[in-house]
Chain A
């Protein structure tokens, strides 16, 4: 079983649509969770951290369910510029010897005009 699993997509949506991505992780001791965005042949860029209480940044809303080990990202009013691969990322336990990030394989979003 992969440590972080995502639906690879692609998700093809029209401009203005609402789209949701889901992710599950296997290590129940994981402490920190993120969504990164990666454009084609570019480096990953942090989109937002994910908190247990849920958090919102403009059109983006992230949710975390620790009991189900499930993370989600909701994008409202999709823009053409949102087209990218969205990476679900988990950081190993806080205070451990390491600080590595575990990446899902990503979900491809294509917003159509």
Chain B
């Protein structure tokens, strides 16, 4: 049973470009969470999605960031016009249901903005 998959594992973007991060949850999981870990900091919640719905986006920056989890295909975290401060590790997690106690994390995407 494949775990949570994220790609790309490493992404380099110049300032002003767009970054697209993908997450495929574990088989049978319909809930996806995105977290960001800035250098030397803890993980911070960004957004919680169910298929075709955003449940909680309280941790998302107000501008340039968006997320989706379409009916078919992976969840996408999109960052427009990236800035140096967006450089971080972005982790995706999934759970089988909203009340699922355990969230399983993917290997993360390391975004570097030059």
Contact residue among A43, A49, A103 (Cβ-Cβ distance under 8 Å from B44): A103
Minimum C-beta distance from A32 to chain B (A): 6
Minimum C-beta distance from A101 to chain B (A): 6
Main secondary structure of the interface of B (DSSP, over half): strand
Contact residue among B41, B45, B99 (Cβ-Cβ distance under 8 Å from A100): B45
| With A43-B108, A44-B91, A44-B105 as contacts: A99 and B100 at CB distance below 8 Å | yes
The CA-CA distance from A102 to B51 in the complex, in Å, is 23
Cβ B99 vs Cβ A95 within 8 A: yes
Minimum C-beta distance from B5 to chain A (A): 11
The CA-CA distance from A32 to B102 in the complex, in Å, is 10
Q: Chain B residue with minimal CB distance to A105?
A: B42
Contact residue among A41, A42, A46, A103 (Cβ-Cβ distance under 8 Å from B42): A103
Cβ A98 vs Cβ B99 within 8 A: no
When distances are taken between beta carbons in the complex, the residues of chain B under 8 Å from A42 are 107-108
What are 6 A-B residue pairs whose CB atoms fall within 8 Å in the complex? A43-B105, A44-B43, A87-B43, A100-B45, A101-B33, A103-B44
